[in-house]
Amino acid sequence: MSKFRGKSFAFVASAIGVALMTGAASAQKAAPVAAPAASAHPPTVANVPPAATPAAKPQTKVTPSVVVVVTNSRSVALTELDATPSGGTLPQTIVSNLAPGKRISVTVATGKFCVFNLHGAYADGSSTDSTSVDFCKDKNVNLVE
C-alpha cells in the first residue's frame, strides 16, 4: 500500500505542477493590441507615448574632506586635538593619543568650509590653540613647544 500511496502522491504533485505552469504561462500572454485606425492626419507628438526612461540611480551625497598630517613635535604626548569650523561651535576630535615625535594622517570632513580653529590638550595638562587654520591650503599641522 505504501508503494501505491507514493505513486499517487507523485502523480498528484506533478499534475498540480503542470496546472500551475500552464496558468502562469497563460497569465503572461499579452492581450492583442488593436491596430490604430488610419487617419487623414499624421500622428502628433501629443499622440505618441513617451519613451521608456531608465530608473534614475540615487545620488550618494559625498561630504567634502581633506587628509591632514598631524605631527607632534613636542616632548609630551598629545591626548586630544579638536577641530572646530571657524565660526562654528561643535568641535570634532581629529586625533587622540599621539606620542611625542609621531605623526598621523587623518581625514577631516570640511563640508563647505576649510578654515578651522584647533585646540590641543597634552598629557602634562598644557594646551594649545590655533585659529583660522586653512586645511585646504595647508594640509600639515606641526605641534611645537
Q: Is residue 79 part of a domain?
A: yes
| Predicted confidence (pLDDT) at residue 5 exceeds the cutoff of 80 | no
Per-residue pLDDT of 14-28, as tens digits, reads 556 555 555 555 555
Q: Is residue 60 part of a domain?
A: no
| Predicted confidence (pLDDT) at residue 52 exceeds the cutoff of 70 | no
Number of structural domains, the chain?
1
Q: Is residue 134 part of a domain?
A: yes
Q: Is residue 45 part of a domain?
A: no
Q: In which domain, by residue range, is 104 found?
A: 65-143
Mean pLDDT of 79-87: 92
* Distance, CA of 114 to CA of 10 (rounded, Å): 73
Q: What is the CATH number of the domain that holds 130?
A: 2.60.40.2890
* Distance, CA of 145 to CA of 128 (rounded, Å): 9
Q: Is residue 78 part of a domain?
A: yes
* Distance, CA of 145 to CA of 25 (rounded, Å): 81
Q: Which residues contact 81 (CB under 8 A, 6 or more apart)?
A: 70, 93, 94, 95, 96, 98, 118, 119, 120, 121, 141, 143
Q: Is residue 129 part of a domain?
A: yes
Report pTM.
Answer: 0.57
Residue 140 pLDDT class (50, 70, 90 cuts): very high
Q: Is residue 132 part of a domain?
A: yes
Residue 64 pLDDT class (50, 70, 90 cuts): confident
Per-residue pLDDT of 34-43, as tens digits, reads 555 555 555 5
Q: Is residue 39 part of a domain?
A: no
| Predicted confidence (pLDDT) at residue 80 exceeds the cutoff of 90 | yes
| Predicted confidence (pLDDT) at residue 98 exceeds the cutoff of 90 | yes
